[in-house]
Amino acid sequence: MSDRIERELILPATPEEVWDAVTTDGWLADDVELTLEPGGDARFACGDSVKTGWVEDARAPERLTFWWAADGEAASRVELTLDPYGDDATTLKVVETRPLDVLDLVGMPLYGIGGPSYGPVLVAA
**Cβ atoms of residues 18 and 92 within 8 Å:** yes
Residue 121 pLDDT? 45
pTM: predicted TM-score of the whole model, two decimal places: 0.77
Residue 79 burial (CB < 10 Å; 0-12/13-18/19+)? middle
> Any idea how long the chain is?
125
Residue 87 pLDDT? 87
Domains of the chain from N-terminus onward: 4-99 (3.30.530.20)
Mean pLDDT, 10 residues at a time, the chain of 125 residues: 81 95 94 94 94 94 94 89 94 85 48 48 43
Residue 72 pLDDT? 85
Question: Amino acid letter at 109?
Answer: P
Residue 116 pLDDT? 47
Residue 101 pLDDT? 54
